[in-house]
Amino acid sequence: MFHPNDLVCDVLSRYPAAWAVFERHGMCEDCRQSPPPVPLHHFAGKHCQGRIDEFLEELREAVK
């Protein structure tokens, strides 16, 4: 469902419920209004200590 190269802005556009995961990992409200066009692996590298697999699993759980 999610791939490390998917863009944050695309994920949030398609799956609004994913916002809770990004918020939990430090995304601010401004970024919610204008999500960055960066890959998920970039976000995970900065906000999840690089644990992309765990981050992707959290996203999957959030949008079930």
- The answer to whether the beta carbons of residues 5 and 35 sit under 8 Å apart is no
pTM, 2 dp? 0.92
DSSP 48: S
pLDDT tens, residue by residue, 4-60: 999 999 999 999 999 999 999 999 888 888 999 999 999 999 999 999 999 999 999
Q: Please, are residues 21 and 62 in contact by the beta-carbon 8 Å criterion? A: yes
50: its two tokens: 């690089």
Q: Where are the domains of the chain?
A: 8-62
Which neighbouring-strand residues pair with 7? Answer: 39
